[in-house]
Amino acid sequence: MSIVEEIALRQGIRLGILIFGFIAGLAYAVFFCHRSASPLKTIVKLIPMSAFAVAVAISFGSGAVVLALVLSAFGDFALSRNGERAFLAGLVSFALAHIVYALFFWQRSDGALADPVILISLAVFALSTEFWLRPYTGRLKWPVRVYVVLISLMGATALGVSSNALVVTGALMFMASDTLLAMQLFRMAADAPQQRLVSIALWCLYFVGQFLIVSGVGWYTPLF
């Protein structure tokens, strides 16, 4: 097999895996994200980020992005289960994913990180959680505080890659999904009528956001 044929094969496999991940992500949004925990829900939720990670790896893409996606997949697994221990495991997994993304984005920063408007806006967002989120988190206030700092850092470093609109948009969508999740877990009643809509919205923001990050920096050759 020639190099050209191998590249074509890998790109074809990558496309097939991405389509499989998208189908699973759509299925999760429509049929599972608003339902109670179950083995099938966990399996379907694991597929999208795992598929994205394999697609990046098979394309000889960024190892950091692969690691962030694997950590995200483990976080998805944990958050698909019930209980405080599962929630904390998911929180730690996603916190580590944000650290990996932040370090990766920092290396690719084009200088926009120094923009004071960007930094002040993210600082205001992080500090605002002390008023609308922290009083409702109980024993989890410190883990949640640390998580807020890390996701804000990830957003700041992604905004530093201002020349890559896919990365910036994806990171902001990722932050928005986490914000909705925090509101759902700590500010909404379990039987609130908005629960289903919020579950669908936060999953779509997270899923599409991760895909945009992958499309922007996951591999060295463009997807589109």
Task: Locate 12 and state its tokens.
Answer: 């074809």
State pTM to two decimals. Answer: 0.91
DSSP string, 46-67: HHHHHHHHHHHHHTT--HHHHH
Would you list the domain boundaries of the chain?
3-217
Sequence-separated contacts (24+) of 80-88 with Cβ below 8 Å: 80/37, 80/41, 80/42, 80/45, 80/46, 81/37, 81/42, 82/36, 82/37, 84/140, 87/140, 87/185, 88/140, 88/143
State yes or no: pLDDT of 224 exceeds 50. no
| Residue 108: band (very low, low, confident or very high) from pLDDT cuts 50, 70, 90 | confident
3-state SS assignment for residue 107: helix
Q: What is the pLDDT of residues 24-78, one digit of tens each?
A: 999 999 999 988 889 999 999 999 999 999 999 988 888 999 999 999 999 999 9
Higher-pLDDT residue of 87 and 7 is: 87
| Interatomic CA distance for residues 50 and 70, integer angstroms | 6
Residue for token digits 């923009």?
115
